[in-house]
Amino acid sequence: MTDPVTPVTFPPAFLWGAATSAYQIEGAVREDGRTPSIWDTFSHTPGKTLGGEHGDIAVDHYHRYREDVALMAELGLTAYRFSVSWSRVQPTGRGPAVQVGLDFYRRLVDELLAKGIKPAVTLYHWDLPQELEDAGGWPERDTAYRFAEYAQIVGEALGDRVENWITLNEPWCSAFLGYASGVHAPGRTDPAASLRAAHHLNLAHGLGTTALRSVMPARNSVAISLNSSVVRPLSESPADLAAVRRIDDLANGVFHGPILKGAYPATLLAATSGLTDWSYVLDGDLRAIHQPLDALGLNYYTPTLVSAAQEQPKGPRTDGHGASDHSPWPAADDVAFHQTPGDRTEMGWTIDPSGLHELIMRYTKEAPGLPLYITENGAAYDDKPDADGRVHDPERIAYLHGHLSAVRRAIADGADVRGYYLWSLLDNFEWAYGYGKRFGAVYVDYATLTRTPKSSAHWYGEAARTGTLPSPSPETT
């Protein structure tokens, strides 16, 4: 690792963005023909989210997008990553598009472009149309074909004005939190089905990439956002290193193997052979998945620490992925997860910017020449307005300063990182945790839906405007 870069100044073309996703912010779940997604169903099922909270209104971005874009422009952000709600565009998950649904995204993109903010579209951020789940969901092959059809529709509608495209966000969560541990929608707990889901998500990515390219100008960039884990061993013992291999395969190799190299890791196939024979990987699938990419999106929050174990330790899960009696890691009962040392965010996730540097350097080595974007990074804190209504969040500023400095160090070490999207623009619906975890740079009063930029938003805006990180303290307000 190079010495710290001071002052921390980024290349002039670096994108300074913020990210969100449809179900977490839009609300308006029953408007303009939108039908339920798996997250509407799941969040309205008693006991699935904290306090039974759901995204019916969320932060009402569907009606307040102009205000939200204006806020980004005032702060000086140069890029915005949002996702499209599939069931707003294709209410049954198949067939012709509902134009009024697409019109919302056309207006949003126009608004962004008018303010000089570069849009990046994520096609799928976990909100599968419920009808497709009823037909079997991601464990069914047909869902991948449906995704390709949907990708083509959105590509045709927005491809002339949006250059940066992301097929899937964090397919690991869709497959393993959705179908193995069940802490995410659709809440199934079937490890074999979760591996089938992972394959069909990969296939969806490959077919979706091809579909997008068939209708979009060649200049557009197609990527995927992976929440690639930085997996570290508790000790250097062979057993602990084998535990790292197992979790690395299940977290990373299961996606980047076929996507970047055209094959599932042999060690993954061997470790999971008691659960599945992978016979649903049909001839031609790996070719379809292994499409050349224009960029890779990396989402990073915290590293994972593992060791070998005879059995899982009793008590709350320590892998940071929610409370469930079912593991999100199929065929890994002999791996134990440990708390990493250090300060934590409100999610209980350890703050460790060195993990982001490590992750970037890993992909710089494994996918040489592929431009990288940090498509999510950020922290939840228990932010509250002070007596004057201002929201001071020095911990988030320190978090951002540390992680952006790690990105800058990686660039100095030869990595081609083109941009950073802070998670998240606004406080929003944090899935099974409801509204309790505030990730936003902008505070949202959930009673009035008033938006107030936190001190971190001003700090980040100054970084975006000047290309140099301001000091993390004293606070910029």
Query: Do residues 82 and 119 touch, judged by C-beta distance below 8 A?
Result: yes
Q: How far apart are CB 19 and ligand IFM at their closest, in Å?
A: 8
The one among 40, 111, 248, 376 contacting ligand IFM by CB under 6 A: 376
Task: Tell whether residue 126 is among the known ligand binding residues.
Answer: no
The one among 299, 327, 340, 455 contacting ligand IFM by CB under 6 A: 299
With respect to ligand IFM, which residue has the nearer C-beta, 98 or 120?
A: 120
Task: Tell whether residue 301 is among the known ligand binding residues.
Answer: yes
Task: Tell whether residue 459 is among the known ligand binding residues.
Answer: no
Residue with the two structure tokens 């009606």: 63
With respect to ligand IFM, which residue has the nearer C-beta, 376 or 393?
A: 376
Please tell me the distance from the alpha carbon of residue 201 to that of residue 17, in angstroms, as a whole number: 26
Q: How far apart are CB 125 and ligand IFM at their closest, in Å?
A: 6
Q: How far apart are CB 205 and ligand IFM at their closest, in Å?
A: 17
Site size for ligand IFM (CB under 6 A): 8
376 tagged catalytic: yes
Q: Is there binding between residue 21 and ligand IFM (CB under 6 A)?
A: yes
Task: Tell whether residue 460 is among the known ligand binding residues.
Answer: no
53, 111, 140, 376: the active-site residue:
376
Q: What contacts 24+ positions apart, CB below 8 Å, involve 112-116?
A: 112/69, 112/72, 112/80, 113/161, 115/69, 115/70, 115/72, 115/73, 116/73, 116/78
* H or E element in which residue 66 lies: helix 61-75
Q: Which of residues 432-461 bind ligand IFM (CB under 6 A)?
A: 439
Please tell me the distance from the alpha carbon of residue 125 to that of residue 457, in angstroms, as a whole number: 24
Q: Which residues pair with 19 in a beta bridge?
A: 81, 423
With respect to ligand IFM, which residue has the nearer C-beta, 104 or 172?
A: 172
- What are 245's two structure tokens? 């291999």
Task: Tell whether residue 125 is among the known ligand binding residues.
Answer: yes
Q: CB-based contacts of 156: which residues, under 8 Å, 6+ apart?
A: 215
Per-residue x/- mask for ligand IFM, residues 396 to 425, rule CB under 6 A?
A: ---------------------------x--
- What are 55's two structure tokens? 């995204």
With respect to ligand IFM, which residue has the nearer C-beta, 201 or 211?
A: 201
Q: How far apart are CB 83 and ligand IFM at their closest, in Å?
A: 9
With respect to ligand IFM, which residue has the nearer C-beta, 285 or 376?
A: 376
Q: Is there binding between residue 39 and ligand IFM (CB under 6 A)?
A: no
Per-residue x/- mask for ligand IFM, residues 246 to 285, rule CB under 6 A?
A: ----------------------------------------
Task: Tell whether residue 431 is among the known ligand binding residues.
Answer: yes
Please tell me the distance from the alpha carbon of residue 98 to that of residue 90, in angstroms, as a whole number: 6
Query: Do residues 443 and 427 touch, judged by C-beta distance below 8 A?
Result: yes
Q: CB-based contacts of 292: which residues, under 8 Å, 6+ apart?
A: none
With respect to ligand IFM, which residue has the nearer C-beta, 213 or 438?
A: 438
- Phi/psi at 280 (5° precision): -80, 0
DSSP secondary structure string for all residues of 105-149? HHHHHHHHHHTT-EEEEEEESS--BHHHHHTT-TTSTHHHHHHHH
Query: Do residues 133 and 86 touch, judged by C-beta distance below 8 A?
Result: no
170, 311, 346, 475: the active-site residue:
170
Q: Which of residues 161-180 bind ligand IFM (CB under 6 A)?
A: 170
Q: How far apart are CB 137 and ligand IFM at their closest, in Å?
A: 19
Instruction: Identify the CA nearest to 319 among candidates 180, 125, 168.
Output: 180
Task: Tell whether residue 401 is among the known ligand binding residues.
Answer: no
- Count of Cβ atoms closer than 10 Å to residue 428 Cβ: 26
Q: Which amino acids are annotated catalytic?
A: 170, 376
Binding residues for ligand IFM (CB under 6 A): 21, 24, 170, 299, 376, 423, 430, 439
Detail the residues annotated as belonging to a binding site for substrate.
24, 125, 169, 301, 423, 430-431
